[in-house]
Structure 1
């Protein structure tokens, strides 16, 4: 099976494409976001590794988008950045990326697990499990963060919710 390799020299890089992983890896994300807010909080990125997208970078703009789900659809693919290979991957609908009425029904189902009193009740367990996980990490030895921490800790947090 062949793998498509992009010709980096021919690819145009939009300096305001905030989907680029190296901005976060190298802690360089602040400048593009400052420029986005200064020049206009809505920016269209035509060429990115994930396809074209609209970047909304102001609080007011984000509140508007979030408060008008009939105008700004989550299900149209506009909120996630992920590599998706149609021939290989199965697209699984995510709760956060659903529109009404599906999102509303799912939100009502999970909302009781996130009330202030429920969060207070489980906060000690969350802190203990997180501290235990972090305390168990190897010193001066490279390890895979996703395998060692992210998957395990996420699984433990889900277990708390199902308890």
Structure 2
């Protein structure tokens, strides 16, 4: 009987350990962070890690001392095959989600290995012709963003401002 109890206890312990190791933010709904604030560093970190190139995210600075509030996001160790077009699309896509989810974010600077882009909420909303805070689902926001990212000349024009 002791052997069975020990075996059962040991098996349960292994299952609990494996379950804990497998819990990740991959399946987390990014819109659970809707209405976060720039000063909430854990929310900002969670959002950025779930967005494209999140695996290359290497820290940030939250600028909350004076308005307009914003953030600097740093990405490093990018793959050699990552090209400038991907940086541009990632900056716009990620900024769209961050501005939608982080209530008081007004600007974001994206620092990639060799490229920097600064995007403001005002400019991005003007480009889309939409108020980003009205979006409530990842699916709708992704559709909007992908539609605008299809036109490379518009992307380049937007980021040259």
- The question of a shared fold, defined as TM-score above 0.5 by the shorter chain, is answered with no
Bigger strand share: 2
Bigger helix share: 2
TM-score scaled by structure 1? 0.28
Of structures 1 and 2, the one with the larger relative CO (CA 8 A, separation 6+) is 2
